[in-house]
Structure 1
Amino acid sequence: MSRYGRAVEPLDPNPRPLDHLTLRGDPSAAALLTREGLLDYAGLEEMVSGLAGALAGRGLGKGARVASWLPKTRMTSLLPLACARAGLVHVPVNPLLKRAQVAHILQDSDASLLITGDARAATLKAGDAPEGCSILGDFEAAFLLEKGDRLPPSSADPDDLAALLYTSGSTGRPKGVMLSHANLWLGAISVAYYLGLTPSDRTLAVLPLSFDYGQNQLFSAWAAGGAGVLLDYLSAKDVIRAVERNGITVLAGVPPLWVQLIEAQWPGASALSLRKLTNSGGKLPASIVRRMREVFPAADIFLMYGLTEAFRSTYLDPALVDAHPDSMGRAIPFAEVMAIGPDGNPAAPGETGELVHAGPLVAQGYWRDPARTAERFRPAPATSRHGGIAVWSGDRVRVDEEGLFYFVGRDDAMIKTSGNRVSPTEVEEAAVRSGLVSEALAFGYPDDRLGEAIALIARPAPDQGAIEAALRDYLKRELPNFMQPSALLVRAELPRGPNGKLDRERIKAELTS
């Protein structure tokens, strides 16, 4: 475990309403630093209670969905807790997404309210938001933070729905993962415990708050009574300046960010201030981990694996990183993680099985999608000590004699790039919508910086000439940066299987062999 001790001990398995995170710290201690200024815990509680009251004052029914499509601000930090206190369900939308993806999330979630900025609101068209959904721009959103009767800490049932986090699947549009107060509360307590967070820690929130990993940057900091510092970074220099200026001790990242940071020039004192570094969203090569050790000699490095449907599954104790740099580690507190063979029994050491996750961190399923819920959320194996419903991840893993897990591969076609899960179907559909393409195939291929890069192979529509430049321009307008193909190939014909369907595996094998 961390050599710096734990703040959350012993582990309390009894979840509470999510908004009670405002009560974890000393009222006069720093809780949140954004461009709008610093909030201590007393200020955090006051603003959450006021925002909750303002939301409740809009007459939204219990469980109504409130979407936010914003950069990292005070509002996006407070909304998860304020919605929870007001009996509403928060739907954070990645600020990098563009109109088509946002419209899908708004319609699918049946959002009653969207809080965004004027520029983003102007990109939406009639019919993008559900009928009756109110859209609040800059002025109205600021007004919510200024007005509203104070609501006291809630007495919500921890099993009540608190959030929908939209995550991509391999065969369709993003689906909303249903997370309860208990899921989010216990996730915060678990991470604060195994990271050894203390009230003196300051966490730099670099990752998007629309991700479970990004949200937990704040939640786990508050669970320990520490502070979260928000940063929308453009370059490694921005991160370095923020670490130096704010006395940052904890930094969470994905592989591409760590590659940038270890290549940058760090003032010695800034690098030495970092005490805990965490990675998820893709495997870090051993060479990157070694370089992180050199650049950040005072820091514990936590290598982690997770999926939104079960929050976080495993972490590798920093003391084992050098000896087992390829391992995912063991189950985090409150999680039961198993490698299950085709016969439904635990895989023997060294054998490959499907990673199955049980316990109170398992989500409640996919929003209004019983078919896909039934595919992924199934009864736990008979050998599970926890039982109940488990997440069958589709990821192939093996376990060694010491109980350490190792990632082997994926059963599905998901592309994991820059810490984001990308559906190849979404990229393919966008290409076809351009009118330049009749058919398209997208898949991931190994990339040292991104984890996986995206390759798109397209067959031009009839009467189209050279389409590469026009197609790239179109995709830049329609898809966020992390969905952009690194490789774009145009072919007159695409390979097909015996059933006439496009043969994804054949073309992938041809191009990566």
Structure 2
Amino acid sequence: MTKAENPSSRPIDHLARCGAPDAAALLIGGKVTTFADLDAGVGRLASWLLDQAGGPGERVANWSAKTRLACLLPLAAARAGLIHVPVNPLLKGPQVAHILSDSGAKLLVTNGARADMLGKDLPEHCVLQDQKIGEEVIDSGGQGLPLSIAEPGDLAAILYTSGSTGRPKGVMLSHANLWLGAESVASYLKITPEDRILAVLPLSFDYGQSQLLSSWYAGAAVAPLDYLTARDVVKAVARHGITTLAGVPPLWVQLVESEWPAETAGLLTRLTNSGGALTPSLIDAIRDTFPRADIYPMYGLTEAFRSTFLDPALVADHPTSMGRAIPHAEILVCRPDGSITDDGEPGELVHTGPLVAQGYWRDEERTAQRFRPSPAASRYGGTAVWSGDTVRRDAEGLLYFVGRDDAMIKTAGNRVSPTEVEDVAVGSGVIYEAVAFGVPDARLGAAIVLIVRGRDGVNDEEGLAAYLRQNLPNFMQPAAIEWREELPRNPNGKLDRVAIAAGWTHEVTT
């Protein structure tokens, strides 16, 4: 079989010139940033970042809310030949310190409160800059850097994602990964310059960053929103005339339970979902709440950006399907030997093509486990992402999720590593051992349960809870903690996680 040619791409900062110069690119509060403003601001910010970081190839991190600066940084870092490391604003000091240390970031742009949260955990090699200075640079009127001439394979970003074991790992994304990902999403969502996209997801997520990049590829405007309640989303849709909203299942539950004026709900014509499957009942509720909107269920993984989507026309008859491959992606369902499964036969989802990331930052072992040669049947060849997810394909070529091979907990749209929760809990000093796992939850998808064994038979419940609140973000907080005198072990002397999880019979209230 002749291997497919990879499509052409451009440096990611060229997105700043995809829209009409006088068209809106960014809507924050009452301020409109046009594409001309975007391009000029990206150039000025790129010049400043390069000066602060010390030279091309360095990593620059941003830990903030969805400010104008945070939105411009992915393009500005790329224009300067730097590597962008976005940090989830919900993370606490210990998690951020790990990301800064692991990435070797030379610069962290954040605010004073977050800098204080880091304190002495800030790595020595990393310099702090207040985000207010970056905002001033954008408006300075000075001469900025010209468009990038980066090669498609040049590294543009490192996005940190949790693994089933250990701390978050950095996924390396090239200019081609980001550009072609933006082109793919913009094309199958049919985004036009007239659209307005409400960006409610964290920009540190591949799904969240896509809100920016795919919109700008299509010449559309983005309205970033850090929301506290579903009511904030309702108000923002009305204020900005939003047509497109991306969410995760727990957010959709909140939104369909909110009061929507008919004229506001009618503005939305396109809804996208990832980070967990929509149930048929939730799809029905979304249809009732937003009668004019097309629904796009999607599946993705950071290691390949996005893999599948279900055409809105198929949602009613196939509500539990993941759909088919997105443009620029090839999705195969494989047996362990790499051969292709028959229709209806479960197998591992394998993603090939130009959206496949470059591996994990400075982690050859985990890269070799996940990024392996493509199956012989692949039309692209090269390296593929072997997802670890089990799916099946029906006779129409539609894919259905079967299960996850690893122990990741998918909660509130976030992938949480049980090991990371356990390590923080043990770090409290009040317990000897901990096991974390997820249990089904109607609101969150999965709720986190933590089973612990106290030190010297003492159950310091208040001390552990206070330590977890201080050192874990909200979405990693256990919904229930159970103290036990003994924890079962397997023949190798290790904690028997299966037996411990199977022994949990209580209901969790979230």
Same fold (TM over 0.5): yes
Which residue number corresponds to residue 488 of structure 2? 495
Which residue number corresponds to residue 478 of structure 1? 471
Which residue number corresponds to residue 3 of structure 2? none
Matched, 1:180 2:180: no
Deviation for aligned residue 1:279:
0.3
1:210-359 aligned at under 5 Å gives the runs: 210-359=204-353
Q: Which amino acid aligns with 1:66?
A: V
**What is the aligned residue count?**
500
Deviation for aligned residue 1:358:
0.4
The two structures, once aligned, show a CA RMSD in angstroms of: 1.3
SS in 1 for 2:119: coil
Matched, 1:511 2:510: no
Which residue number corresponds to residue 462 of structure 1? 456
Structure 1: distance between partners of 2:178 and 2:112: 30
Deviation for aligned residue 1:58:
3.0
The percent identity for this pair of structures is 63
Q: What TM-score results when the alignment is normalised by the length of structure 1?
A: 0.96
Deviation for aligned residue 1:81:
0.1
Matched, 1:140 2:133: yes
1:353-400 Cα distance to aligned partner (Å, 9 max, x none) = 001000000000000000100000000001111110000010000000
Deviation for aligned residue 1:146:
4.1
Distance 1:416 1:32, change over 3 A: same
Unmatched 5+ residue regions in structure 2? 1-5
Match of 1:113 among 96, 107, 110: 107
Structure 2: distance between partners of 1:158 and 1:176: 19
Deviation for aligned residue 1:470:
2.5
Contact 2:44 2:144 in 1 (8 A): yes
SS in 1 for 2:372: strand
Matched, 1:195 2:210: no
Structure 2: distance between partners of 1:310 and 1:386: 14
Unmatched 5+ residue regions in structure 1? 1-11
Which residue number corresponds to residue 72 of structure 2? 78
Query: Which shifted more, 80-89 or 444-453?
Result: 444-453
Contact 1:116 1:141 in 2 (8 A): no
SS in 1 for 2:266: helix
SS in 1 for 2:332: strand
1:460-507 Cα distance to aligned partner (Å, 9 max, x none) = 11152x322332221111100000111211111111111110011111
1:422-445 Cα distance to aligned partner (Å, 9 max, x none) = 000000011111111110000111
Structure 1: distance between partners of 2:294 and 2:136: 42
Which residue number corresponds to residue 28 of structure 1? 22
SS in 2 for 1:57: helix
Q: What TM-score results when the alignment is normalised by the length of structure 2?
A: 0.96
Contact 1:203 1:250 in 2 (8 A): yes
Query: Which shifted more, 114-123 or 147-156?
Result: 147-156
Q: Which amino acid aligns with 2:471?
A: E
SS in 1 for 2:40: helix
Contact 1:111 1:129 in 2 (8 A): no
Deviation for aligned residue 1:129:
3.1
SS in 2 for 1:511: coil
SS in 1 for 2:327: coil
Q: Which amino acid aligns with 2:34?
A: D
Query: Which shifted more, 132-141 or 267-276?
Result: 132-141
Structure 1: distance between partners of 2:216 and 2:107: 27
1:237-293 Cα distance to aligned partner (Å, 9 max, x none) = 000000011100000000000000000110000101101000000011110001101
Deviation for aligned residue 1:145:
2.7
Matched, 1:446 2:448: no
Which residue number corresponds to residue 7 of structure 1? none
Contact 1:35 1:73 in 2 (8 A): no
Contact 2:104 2:125 in 1 (8 A): no
Contact 2:45 2:134 in 1 (8 A): no
1:105-161 Cα distance to aligned partner (Å, 9 max, x none) = 0000000000000010012233x3333321012443334434553111111111100
Structure 2: distance between partners of 1:204 and 1:478: 30
Structure 2: distance between partners of 1:113 and 1:447: 39
Q: Which amino acid aligns with 2:464?
A: L
Contact 1:55 1:144 in 2 (8 A): no
Structure 1: distance between partners of 2:183 and 2:9: 9
